Amino acid sequence: GKYRVVSTKSMPGTRWINLLVQQDCRVEICTEKKTILSVEDIIALIGNRCDGVIGQLTEDWGETLFSALSKAGGKAFSNMAVGYNNVDISAATKYGVAVGNTPGVLTETTAELAASLSLAASRRIVEADGFMRAGLYDGWLPHLFVGNLLKGQTVGVIGAGRIGSAYARMMVNSCTSGIYDYTFVTKLEKNCQIEGFKMNLIYYDLYQATRLEKFVTAYGQFLKASGEQPVTWKRASSMEEVLQEADVISLHPILDKTTYHLINKERLSKMKKEAILINCSRGPVVDEEALVEHLKQNPMFRVGLDVFEDEPYMKPGLADMKNAIVVPHIASASKWTREGMATLAALNVLGKIKGYPMWSNPNQVDPFLDENSPPPS
Ligand code: GLV
Ligand code: GLV
């Protein structure tokens, strides 16, 4: 191969490797056993000559690494992730390295995990599973693991981009056939079998989620026409409005300075005592210590967490809370999605090496939000 491309981790599938190899690249995959590579480990991988790197969200891509990559002749870096809070874009720009990410392919897989956690939390599935395995079940009881019915309750979405919108659609009408399926409205008219959780929606985003609004409106009209209680939706004018009104709240913003500890002690106190909070975005969006305290004070408040402030660690006390469900950052972990992420990361790096724009870069506008809409008043 004419070009040297390094992947800091082995990634699912072979398509991404074939793509690179067919286009004059020699692919080197790091075989280091430890999970999280240090900056020094990655500098060693980059070596004296490297055209592009595919990296992971656990790595700190800042000044040091972009300087090393640039010195080695590298022009391209792609995260194998949609999130890029681990990447210092201005440092990359300074050293002439283009940065890519992998949106789109993980939208619905991630939304499905957020939906799974919402259901698991509302029906106390993990707690009940532990109860069975501990041999504590000694017969059916009217009070045993009573949870909440989602139907008719309100789902609150904070950050209604690709993932937030897909999640919202699932919770309103679980039979979404894909956010890329433009024919949904027609199907609604033709196919009376489509049913869902029928939650009402309230969302908060700086931008208007035009397509989400159209979708929920159409579903509401369909329900009304068939003589059922229609679902409703509302774009909140403040995040507080979502916190106060929603029964299940799911967080889908990007992590940056403006969303760090977006959910803090004060905002937790605004939520309903029996609310459910889901986080499949980034850990630091939630003040995890404040959350642990809130879980202790409010036994009926429940959370489903895929991400943590200080991964791979949890804040003290969290693991002991029965009203918390915790999973290890697996929201994008479906085979199809992970192979897709690897392929997109490879295409990003390959594109740049060959002199084309990256397939996706973090500055690209989310096509599911209307950037021309005014912020909420
Ligand atoms: C995973 O967390 C991602 O950002 O893709
Ligand atoms: C955010 O990361 C999104 O994909 O909307």
Q: Which ligand is nearest to the CA of 212?
A: 2
Domain residue limits, the chain: 3-105+333-353, 107-326
Same fold, 3-105+333-353 and 107-326: yes
Residue nearest to atom 5 of ligand 1 (CA): 81
Distance 221 CA to ligand 1 centre (A): 35
Fold observed for domain 107-326: Rossmann fold (3.40.50)
Residue 159 alpha carbon, nearest atom of ligand 2? 5
Going along 74-132, which residue ranges are E strands?
76-79, 98-100
Among all residues, which ones are annotated catalytic? Answer: 282, 311, 329
- Which ligand is closest to the CA of 106, given by its number? 1
Closest ligand 2 atom number to CA of residue 164 = 5
Q: Please indicate whether residue 57, judged by its CB atom, sits closer than 6 Å to ligand 1.
A: yes
The ligand 2 atom at the shortest distance from the C-alpha of residue 162 is: 5
Which ligand lies nearest to the CA atom of residue 341 in the structure? 1
Q: Are strands 200-204 and 233-235 parallel, antiparallel or unpaired?
A: parallel
Q: Residue 325 and residue 157: Cα distance in Å, rounded?
A: 19
Look at ligand 1, atom 3, and give the residue with the nearest C-alpha. 81
Q: What is the CATH number of domain 3-105+333-353?
A: 3.40.50.720
Buried b (16+ CB within 10 A) or exposed e, 26-37: ebbebeeeeeeb
- For ligand 1, whether the C-beta of 114 sits within 6 Å is no
| pLDDT tens, residue by residue, 189-233 | 454 445 678 999 999 999 999 989 988 998 888 888 888 889 999
Nearest atom in ligand 1 to 80's CA: 5
- The rounded radius of gyration (Å) of the Cα atoms in the chain is 22
- Ligand 2 atom, smallest distance to 253 CA: 1
Pocket mutation for ligand 1, best pick of 58, 87, 108, 110 (most atoms within 8 Å of C-beta): 110
Task: Give the Å distance between the CA of 323 and the centre of ligand 2.
Answer: 27
How far is residue 70's CA from residue 49's CA, in Å, rounded to a whole number? 9
Protein residue whose Cα sits closest to atom 1 of ligand 1: 81
Q: What are phi and psi of 161, to 5 degrees?
A: -80, -150
What is the pLDDT tens value at each position of the chain, 377 positions in all? Answer: 899 999 999 999 999 999 999 999 999 999 999 999 999 999 999 999 999 999 999 999 999 999 999 999 999 999 999 999 999 999 999 999 999 999 999 999 999 999 999 999 999 999 999 999 999 999 999 999 999 899 999 999 999 999 999 999 999 985 544 443 445 555 554 544 456 789 999 999 999 999 899 889 988 888 888 888 899 999 999 999 999 999 999 999 999 999 999 999 999 999 999 999 999 999 999 999 999 999 999 999 999 999 999 999 999 999 999 999 999 999 999 999 999 999 999 999 999 999 998 888 887 777 667 767 766 66
Nearest CA to ligand 2 atom 4: 162
Q: Is the peptide bond before 103 cis (omega within 30 degrees of 0)?
A: no
Mutate to test the pocket of ligand 2, among 79, 366, 370 (most ligand atoms within 8 A of CB): 366
Mapped onto helix, strand or coil, the DSSP state of residue 362 is coil
For residue 94, how many C-alpha atoms fall within 13 Å in the half-sphere facing its CB? 12
Q: Is 48 exposed, middle or buried (0-12, 13-18, 19+ CB in 10 A)?
A: exposed
d(CA 221, CA 236): 21
Rounded distance between C-alpha atoms, residue 209 and residue 367, angstroms: 10
Instruction: Note the ligand closest to the C-alpha atom of 110.
Output: 1
Ligand 1 within 6 A of CB of 106: yes
Distance 82 CA to ligand 1 centre (A): 5
ipTM of the complex model: 0.70
